Amino acid sequence: MPLGETVSLKQKLQAVLDECRIEAGIAITQIETGEQVEIDGSGLYPMASVFKIPILATVGQQIAQGRFNLDERVPLRTEDKSAGSGILPFFDAGLQPTRRDLITLMIIISDNTATDMTVDLVGGAQVVENAMHALGLTDIFFKLNCKDLLKSLWPADLAERPIEEIRAWSDANDILRDGVAFLRTGENNVSSANSMTRLNVMLYTGEIVPGAVRDELIRIMHTQQYNQRLPRFLPSGVPFAHKTGTIGPFCNDSGVITVAPDNHVAITAFAVWDEEKYFQQPEARNQRLFEVESALGKIGRITYDHYRG
Protein backbone atom coordinates (compact mmCIF):
# COMPACT_ATOMS: atom_id res chain seq x y z
CA MET A 1 0.00 0.00 0.00
CA PRO A 2 1.45 3.42 -0.94
CA LEU A 3 2.63 5.60 1.91
CA GLY A 4 -0.19 7.75 3.24
CA GLU A 5 -3.02 5.70 1.70
CA THR A 6 -5.71 4.89 4.24
CA VAL A 7 -7.27 1.46 4.65
CA SER A 8 -10.98 1.49 3.90
CA LEU A 9 -13.61 -0.05 6.18
CA LYS A 10 -14.29 -2.68 3.54
CA GLN A 11 -10.60 -3.61 3.36
CA LYS A 12 -10.41 -3.94 7.14
CA LEU A 13 -13.46 -6.20 7.21
CA GLN A 14 -12.13 -8.37 4.38
CA ALA A 15 -8.83 -8.74 6.22
CA VAL A 16 -10.71 -10.18 9.22
CA LEU A 17 -12.53 -12.68 7.01
CA ASP A 18 -9.29 -13.71 5.32
CA GLU A 19 -7.45 -14.12 8.60
CA CYS A 20 -10.22 -16.33 10.02
CA ARG A 21 -10.73 -18.23 6.73
CA ILE A 22 -14.48 -17.64 6.56
CA GLU A 23 -16.86 -16.59 3.82
CA ALA A 24 -19.41 -13.90 4.64
CA GLY A 25 -22.06 -11.59 3.33
CA ILE A 26 -21.77 -8.26 5.14
CA ALA A 27 -23.90 -5.16 4.71
CA ILE A 28 -23.56 -1.94 6.71
CA THR A 29 -25.67 1.22 6.53
CA GLN A 30 -25.06 4.37 8.56
CA ILE A 31 -28.67 5.30 9.12
CA GLU A 32 -28.38 9.09 9.42
CA THR A 33 -26.22 9.55 6.30
CA GLY A 34 -27.20 6.51 4.25
CA GLU A 35 -23.56 5.53 3.71
CA GLN A 36 -23.30 1.86 2.74
CA VAL A 37 -20.50 -0.69 2.79
CA GLU A 38 -20.87 -4.29 1.69
CA ILE A 39 -19.00 -7.52 1.02
CA ASP A 40 -21.09 -9.93 -1.07
CA GLY A 41 -24.10 -7.96 0.10
CA SER A 42 -26.43 -9.38 -2.56
CA GLY A 43 -25.50 -13.06 -2.08
CA LEU A 44 -28.15 -15.31 -0.53
CA TYR A 45 -27.40 -17.00 2.80
CA PRO A 46 -29.52 -19.15 5.11
CA MET A 47 -30.80 -16.77 7.78
CA ALA A 48 -31.02 -19.39 10.54
CA SER A 49 -32.69 -17.63 13.49
CA VAL A 50 -32.10 -14.20 12.01
CA PHE A 51 -35.39 -14.93 10.22
CA LYS A 52 -37.00 -14.01 13.54
CA ILE A 53 -36.45 -10.34 12.63
CA PRO A 54 -38.81 -10.60 9.62
CA ILE A 55 -41.31 -12.37 11.88
CA LEU A 56 -41.00 -9.53 14.42
CA ALA A 57 -41.54 -6.94 11.67
CA THR A 58 -44.66 -8.79 10.49
CA VAL A 59 -45.96 -8.86 14.07
CA GLY A 60 -45.40 -5.09 14.26
CA GLN A 61 -47.47 -4.52 11.14
CA GLN A 62 -50.30 -6.64 12.51
CA ILE A 63 -50.22 -4.84 15.87
CA ALA A 64 -50.60 -1.52 14.05
CA GLN A 65 -53.50 -2.98 12.08
CA GLY A 66 -55.23 -4.12 15.27
CA ARG A 67 -54.85 -7.79 14.35
CA PHE A 68 -52.28 -8.82 16.98
CA ASN A 69 -52.88 -8.14 20.68
CA LEU A 70 -49.65 -8.34 22.70
CA ASP A 71 -51.53 -8.89 25.95
CA GLU A 72 -53.60 -11.86 24.77
CA ARG A 73 -52.59 -15.17 26.37
CA VAL A 74 -51.90 -18.28 24.30
CA PRO A 75 -51.94 -21.78 25.83
CA LEU A 76 -48.82 -23.89 25.27
CA ARG A 77 -49.66 -27.32 23.85
CA THR A 78 -47.44 -30.39 23.79
CA GLU A 79 -47.60 -30.45 19.99
CA ASP A 80 -46.28 -26.86 19.88
CA LYS A 81 -42.92 -27.82 21.35
CA SER A 82 -39.96 -27.65 18.99
CA ALA A 83 -36.40 -28.93 19.24
CA GLY A 84 -33.42 -26.59 19.23
CA SER A 85 -33.01 -23.45 21.26
CA GLY A 86 -35.43 -22.20 23.87
CA ILE A 87 -37.03 -22.95 27.22
CA LEU A 88 -40.72 -23.54 26.44
CA PRO A 89 -40.18 -27.25 25.61
CA PHE A 90 -39.20 -27.75 29.24
CA PHE A 91 -42.41 -26.22 30.59
CA ASP A 92 -45.67 -28.06 31.19
CA ALA A 93 -48.39 -27.87 28.59
CA GLY A 94 -51.11 -25.48 29.69
CA LEU A 95 -48.74 -22.60 30.43
CA GLN A 96 -50.32 -19.41 29.08
CA PRO A 97 -47.69 -16.86 28.01
CA THR A 98 -48.84 -13.60 26.45
CA ARG A 99 -48.11 -12.90 22.81
CA ARG A 100 -45.61 -10.31 24.08
CA ASP A 101 -43.90 -13.10 26.03
CA LEU A 102 -43.70 -15.20 22.86
CA ILE A 103 -42.05 -12.56 20.70
CA THR A 104 -39.70 -11.66 23.55
CA LEU A 105 -38.61 -15.29 23.94
CA MET A 106 -38.32 -15.58 20.16
CA ILE A 107 -35.82 -12.72 20.00
CA ILE A 108 -33.82 -12.65 23.20
CA ILE A 109 -33.16 -16.40 23.64
CA SER A 110 -34.20 -17.55 20.15
CA ASP A 111 -36.93 -19.84 21.51
CA ASN A 112 -38.04 -22.02 18.59
CA THR A 113 -41.33 -23.03 20.19
CA ALA A 114 -42.26 -19.39 20.83
CA THR A 115 -41.26 -18.64 17.25
CA ASP A 116 -43.46 -21.30 15.70
CA MET A 117 -46.39 -20.28 17.89
CA THR A 118 -45.90 -16.70 16.70
CA VAL A 119 -45.69 -17.76 13.04
CA ASP A 120 -49.01 -19.56 13.45
CA LEU A 121 -50.55 -16.49 15.09
CA VAL A 122 -49.60 -14.18 12.18
CA GLY A 123 -50.96 -16.64 9.62
CA GLY A 124 -48.03 -18.83 8.61
CA ALA A 125 -44.64 -18.61 6.93
CA GLN A 126 -46.04 -17.39 3.62
CA VAL A 127 -47.61 -14.37 5.33
CA VAL A 128 -44.17 -13.37 6.67
CA GLU A 129 -42.53 -13.81 3.26
CA ASN A 130 -45.30 -11.84 1.55
CA ALA A 131 -44.89 -9.03 4.09
CA MET A 132 -41.17 -8.81 3.30
CA HIS A 133 -41.75 -8.77 -0.45
CA ALA A 134 -44.41 -6.06 -0.05
CA LEU A 135 -41.72 -3.94 1.65
CA GLY A 136 -39.53 -4.37 -1.44
CA LEU A 137 -37.26 -6.92 0.25
CA THR A 138 -37.79 -9.47 -2.50
CA ASP A 139 -34.76 -11.61 -1.69
CA ILE A 140 -35.93 -12.43 1.83
CA PHE A 141 -37.58 -15.85 1.61
CA PHE A 142 -39.28 -17.58 4.54
CA LYS A 143 -40.58 -21.04 3.72
CA LEU A 144 -40.25 -23.15 6.87
CA ASN A 145 -40.99 -22.66 10.54
CA CYS A 146 -38.40 -23.88 13.06
CA LYS A 147 -39.89 -27.33 13.47
CA ASP A 148 -40.03 -28.03 9.73
CA LEU A 149 -36.58 -26.55 9.11
CA LEU A 150 -35.00 -28.71 11.80
CA LYS A 151 -36.70 -31.84 10.45
CA SER A 152 -34.56 -31.56 7.32
CA LEU A 153 -31.45 -32.05 9.49
CA TRP A 154 -32.50 -35.55 10.60
CA PRO A 155 -33.55 -38.82 8.91
CA ALA A 156 -37.20 -38.81 7.91
CA ASP A 157 -38.12 -41.63 10.31
CA LEU A 158 -36.71 -39.62 13.23
CA ALA A 159 -38.38 -36.31 12.49
CA GLU A 160 -41.73 -37.20 14.08
CA ARG A 161 -40.29 -38.80 17.22
CA PRO A 162 -40.25 -37.12 20.64
CA ILE A 163 -37.70 -34.36 21.23
CA GLU A 164 -35.78 -36.54 23.68
CA GLU A 165 -35.13 -39.19 21.01
CA ILE A 166 -34.04 -36.55 18.51
CA ARG A 167 -31.57 -35.12 21.01
CA ALA A 168 -30.16 -38.58 21.74
CA TRP A 169 -29.69 -39.28 18.02
CA SER A 170 -28.01 -35.90 17.51
CA ASP A 171 -25.47 -36.66 20.23
CA ALA A 172 -24.19 -39.63 18.24
CA ASN A 173 -24.78 -38.58 14.62
CA ASP A 174 -23.92 -35.66 12.39
CA ILE A 175 -26.80 -33.69 10.91
CA LEU A 176 -27.85 -34.33 7.30
CA ARG A 177 -26.16 -31.73 5.13
CA ASP A 178 -27.91 -32.23 1.81
CA GLY A 179 -31.37 -31.00 2.83
CA VAL A 180 -33.28 -27.78 2.37
CA ALA A 181 -31.79 -26.13 5.48
CA PHE A 182 -28.46 -25.57 3.71
CA LEU A 183 -29.84 -24.41 0.34
CA ARG A 184 -28.94 -20.89 -0.70
CA THR A 185 -32.04 -20.44 -2.82
CA GLY A 186 -35.61 -19.27 -2.31
CA GLU A 187 -36.71 -22.78 -1.35
CA ASN A 188 -35.08 -22.18 2.03
CA ASN A 189 -35.21 -19.38 4.64
CA VAL A 190 -32.63 -17.13 3.01
CA SER A 191 -31.79 -13.46 2.68
CA SER A 192 -29.08 -11.24 1.35
CA ALA A 193 -27.14 -9.19 3.86
CA ASN A 194 -28.28 -6.07 2.02
CA SER A 195 -31.96 -6.85 2.49
CA MET A 196 -31.61 -7.82 6.14
CA THR A 197 -29.75 -4.60 6.88
CA ARG A 198 -32.39 -2.65 4.98
CA LEU A 199 -35.08 -4.35 7.09
CA ASN A 200 -33.27 -3.29 10.27
CA VAL A 201 -33.08 0.30 9.01
CA MET A 202 -36.81 0.28 8.24
CA LEU A 203 -37.62 -1.16 11.67
CA TYR A 204 -35.37 1.24 13.54
CA THR A 205 -36.54 4.39 11.77
CA GLY A 206 -40.23 3.52 12.14
CA GLU A 207 -40.77 3.09 8.42
CA ILE A 208 -42.44 -0.30 8.95
CA VAL A 209 -44.43 0.68 12.03
CA PRO A 210 -44.06 3.97 13.94
CA GLY A 211 -44.51 5.20 17.47
CA ALA A 212 -45.08 3.01 20.50
CA VAL A 213 -45.20 -0.22 18.51
CA ARG A 214 -41.82 0.52 16.95
CA ASP A 215 -40.43 1.33 20.40
CA GLU A 216 -41.70 -1.97 21.82
CA LEU A 217 -40.07 -4.03 19.07
CA ILE A 218 -36.73 -2.24 19.37
CA ARG A 219 -36.86 -2.54 23.17
CA ILE A 220 -37.15 -6.31 22.79
CA MET A 221 -34.23 -6.45 20.34
CA HIS A 222 -32.13 -4.44 22.80
CA THR A 223 -32.63 -7.13 25.48
CA GLN A 224 -30.89 -9.81 23.39
CA GLN A 225 -29.10 -12.35 25.60
CA TYR A 226 -26.71 -13.77 22.98
CA ASN A 227 -23.99 -11.16 22.60
CA GLN A 228 -20.89 -13.16 21.68
CA ARG A 229 -20.80 -12.21 17.98
CA LEU A 230 -20.99 -8.68 16.52
CA PRO A 231 -21.17 -6.97 19.96
CA ARG A 232 -18.46 -9.20 21.46
CA PHE A 233 -15.81 -6.47 21.64
CA LEU A 234 -17.98 -3.36 21.75
CA PRO A 235 -17.36 -1.05 24.72
CA SER A 236 -19.51 -1.88 27.73
CA GLY A 237 -22.92 -0.27 27.56
CA VAL A 238 -23.06 0.31 23.82
CA PRO A 239 -26.67 -0.50 22.82
CA PHE A 240 -27.10 -3.09 20.07
CA ALA A 241 -30.62 -4.15 19.03
CA HIS A 242 -30.02 -7.44 17.23
CA LYS A 243 -30.71 -11.11 16.56
CA THR A 244 -28.26 -13.97 16.07
CA GLY A 245 -28.75 -17.17 14.08
CA THR A 246 -26.98 -20.52 13.79
CA ILE A 247 -27.51 -23.61 11.67
CA GLY A 248 -24.69 -25.94 10.68
CA PRO A 249 -21.83 -23.83 9.28
CA PHE A 250 -23.86 -20.61 9.16
CA CYS A 251 -23.07 -18.18 11.98
CA ASN A 252 -25.08 -14.96 11.73
CA ASP A 253 -25.87 -11.70 13.50
CA SER A 254 -27.87 -8.66 12.45
CA GLY A 255 -29.11 -5.46 14.05
CA VAL A 256 -28.50 -1.78 14.80
CA ILE A 257 -25.61 -0.38 16.86
CA THR A 258 -26.13 2.94 18.63
CA VAL A 259 -22.76 4.63 18.24
CA ALA A 260 -24.11 7.91 19.63
CA PRO A 261 -27.59 9.39 20.10
CA ASP A 262 -27.46 10.79 16.55
CA ASN A 263 -25.35 8.00 15.04
CA HIS A 264 -26.81 4.55 14.33
CA VAL A 265 -25.32 1.79 12.21
CA ALA A 266 -27.33 -1.13 10.83
CA ILE A 267 -25.16 -4.17 10.20
CA THR A 268 -25.66 -7.75 9.05
CA ALA A 269 -23.04 -10.50 8.94
CA PHE A 270 -23.92 -13.89 7.47
CA ALA A 271 -20.79 -16.01 7.98
CA VAL A 272 -19.91 -19.52 6.81
CA TRP A 273 -17.19 -21.60 8.45
CA ASP A 274 -15.73 -25.12 8.18
CA GLU A 275 -17.98 -26.55 10.89
CA GLU A 276 -18.54 -29.97 9.31
CA LYS A 277 -15.02 -31.29 9.83
CA TYR A 278 -15.24 -30.82 13.61
CA PHE A 279 -18.04 -33.33 14.19
CA GLN A 280 -17.17 -35.36 17.32
CA GLN A 281 -14.18 -33.12 18.07
CA PRO A 282 -15.77 -30.97 20.78
CA GLU A 283 -12.60 -29.24 21.97
CA ALA A 284 -11.43 -28.39 18.46
CA ARG A 285 -14.94 -27.35 17.44
CA ASN A 286 -15.34 -25.01 20.37
CA GLN A 287 -11.94 -23.48 19.72
CA ARG A 288 -12.78 -22.93 16.05
CA LEU A 289 -16.20 -21.49 16.91
CA PHE A 290 -14.48 -19.13 19.36
CA GLU A 291 -12.29 -17.94 16.46
CA VAL A 292 -15.29 -17.44 14.17
CA GLU A 293 -17.36 -15.57 16.74
CA SER A 294 -14.32 -13.48 17.66
CA ALA A 295 -13.94 -12.57 13.99
CA LEU A 296 -17.55 -11.35 14.00
CA GLY A 297 -16.72 -9.42 17.17
CA LYS A 298 -13.81 -7.77 15.40
CA ILE A 299 -16.12 -6.84 12.53
CA GLY A 300 -18.53 -5.24 14.99
CA ARG A 301 -15.77 -3.31 16.76
CA ILE A 302 -14.07 -2.16 13.55
CA THR A 303 -17.43 -0.89 12.30
CA TYR A 304 -18.17 0.88 15.58
CA ASP A 305 -14.73 2.54 15.65
CA HIS A 306 -15.04 3.61 12.02
CA TYR A 307 -18.31 5.46 12.53
CA ARG A 308 -17.43 6.75 15.97
CA GLY A 309 -14.17 8.21 14.69
Query: Using one digit for the tens of pLDDT, what is the confidence trace for 200-226?
Result: 999 999 999 999 999 999 999 999 999
Burial of 113 (0-12, 13-18, 19+ CB in 10 A): buried
Confidence of residue 55 (pLDDT cuts 50, 70, 90): very high
101 has pLDDT over 60: yes
115 has pLDDT over 60: yes
Provide mean pLDDT across the span 82-102.
94
Provide mean pLDDT across the span 289-305.
98
Give domain 9-308's CATH superfamily: DD-peptidase/beta-lactamase superfamily (3.40.710.10)
So what's the pLDDT on residue 279? 86
Q: What pTM does this model have?
A: 0.94
The chain-wide mean pLDDT, for the chain, equals: 94
240 has pLDDT over 80: yes
2 has pLDDT over 60: no
181 has pLDDT over 60: yes
Query: Using one digit for the tens of pLDDT, what is the confidence trace for 258-279?
Result: 999 999 999 999 999 999 999 8
So what's the pLDDT on residue 133? 98
Task: Identify the residue with better confidence: 131 or 161.
Answer: 131
Provide mean pLDDT across the span 80-89.
90
So what's the pLDDT on residue 66? 95
So what's the pLDDT on residue 174? 87
The 3-state secondary structure of the chain reads CCCCCCCCHHHHHHHHHHHHCCEEEEEEEECCCCCEEEECCCCEEECHHHHHHHHHHHHHHHHHCCCCCCCCECCCCHHHCCCCCCCHHHCCCCCCCEHHHHHHHHHHCCCHHHHHHHHHHHCCHHHHHHHHHHCCCCCCECCCCHHHHHHCCCCCCCCCCCHHHHHHHHHHCCCCCCCHHHCCCCCCCEEEHHHHHHHHHHHHHCCCCCHHHHHHHHHHHHCCCCCCCCCCCCCCCCCEEEEEEEECCEEEEEEEEEEECCEEEEEEEEEECCHHHHCCCHHHHHHHHHHHHHHHHHHHHHHHHHHHC
Query: Using one digit for the tens of pLDDT, what is the confidence trace for 183-203?
Result: 999 999 999 999 999 999 999
5 has pLDDT over 60: no
